[in-house]
Structure 1
């Protein structure tokens, strides 16, 4: 049986305590994010947001879950430039459709495939004006960068060997139909809109696989 030296045990103890403290702080931030507004969550709102956004944002409240009421699908297309300077606009490709394909008939689907893109667009929608699509503060820009990098991670830095200059998203929204026994009448037709073209630079591609 291996016997650890006193310094080694001290280092392991400190590391374990730091890990436990970090885990508790992270869970506390998530709890404050989903809990009803209170004096603590208001006092530490900036710190909680720094931990939660954008990767760990939640779309539900602790005591009042809000189920999804719309089906939202996202498509994207890119504009590329060839070595001779020729600029091309590529066809739309389905980001949501790819996630659905990865989940469908999979007995243990990935949480990322199910929620990453949907939550990224929820974050974008909550930080942009519904009238003109303008970002509301620094979180709006962060939401754009987050959504753009998710798409670029799936397309790669180039298309058919041509560098990507810009990327655009198309959003299709349809209200979930009520159950057969309900007398509620809703418009279930899909409504589509295109977001502006967003430029792609080296910073957007940095670190993508």
Structure 2
């Protein structure tokens, strides 16, 4: 070989003699002992502990699965019952109406409807008159006082009407009609409560706004409602009566605290 020919294995280092080469590390040779010791010293990660239902034994896992299934079924049945109680009359509610009512009432009663109700097509006014014992011992019967008209006048033009002016009298009357029959007799356990609630409201209003009542002591009150149909718009061909229909309640005697104005 010519001395100037290059070694096919590449150039030698500055300290290497001509024609010689540093030994190569054979492939696949074992790593140095220090590297093997370092790899052995790395700790093996501990297994992640199981949590929740997975941490239970198989027997308790089966019990938990059964309990969840029972809860899911009960929730679905409850939602179905509430839906049927709010839905309009249909075949299911006609056949199983009693079972639906026993499930829903009274604990899960809902005060809203599934579909928007028809708007009110009647104006209902609550009116009251009183029998007052005057200071001279005589009895005087007042004229009819339209309490609903007073509330309407207070609300009209008021940017922030009170909740009492808007709802107190109206809801008291709705409460009374819902717990009394057409003969004005109480139906159910809340009938007497609704009567007392309405009576106390009208007595309070009379002592506050009626001059005759303020001059004496109210002995009895009588309440009536005046229902008038809302007239259709001018472009409608519908014709409805504009005459008011009255529902007259019997005279109610006041208790001693009510007569003395204790409800004010």
TM-score, normalised via structure 2 length: 0.54
Corresponding position of 2:121: 69
Q: Give the structure with the higher percent strand.
A: 1
Residue of structure 1 equivalent to 2:105:
45
Q: How far 1:204 moved relative to its partner?
A: 4.1
Q: Structure 1 residue 153 and structure 2 residue 207: aligned? A: no
1:17-166 equivalences under 5 Å are 36=86, 42-43=102-103, 45-47=105-107, 61-82=113-134, 85-130=137-182, 132-156=183-207, 159-166=213-220
1:186 equivalent in structure 2: 240
| 8 Å CA contact retained: 1:75, 1:93 | yes
Equivalents in 1 of 2:245, 2:187: separation in Å? Answer: 23
- Counterpart position of 1:208: 263
* Kept in 1: contact 2:224–2:246 (CA 8 A): yes
Q: Which runs of 4+ in 1 moved over 6 A?
A: 37-41
Secondary structure in 2 aligned to 1:114?
A: helix
Match of 2:106, SS?
helix
| Count of residues in Structure 1 that have an aligned counterpart in Structure 2 | 167
- 165-174 vs 84-93, which moves further: 84-93
Q: Determine the structure 2 residue equivalent to 1:174.
A: 228
Q: 1:94 to 1:40 in 2, by over 3 A?
A: same
> In 2, are the aligned partners of 1:145 and 1:204 still within 8 Å (CA)?
no
Given that residues 80 and 164 in structure 1 are in contact (C-alpha distance below 8 angstroms), is that contact kept between their aligned partners in structure 2? yes
Q: CA deviation at 1:83?
A: 5.1
Corresponding residue for residue 7 of structure 1:
none
In 2, Cα distance between equivalents of 1:127 and 1:103: 28
Distance 1:68 1:183 in 2: 19
Q: If the length of structure 1 is used for normalisation, what is the TM-score? A: 0.66
Q: Which runs of 5+ in 2 are unaligned?
A: 1-81, 88-96
- Per the TM alignment, residue 200 of structure 1 is displaced from its structure 2 partner at its CA by 0.7
Q: Which runs of 5+ in 1 are unaligned?
A: 1-31, 53-57
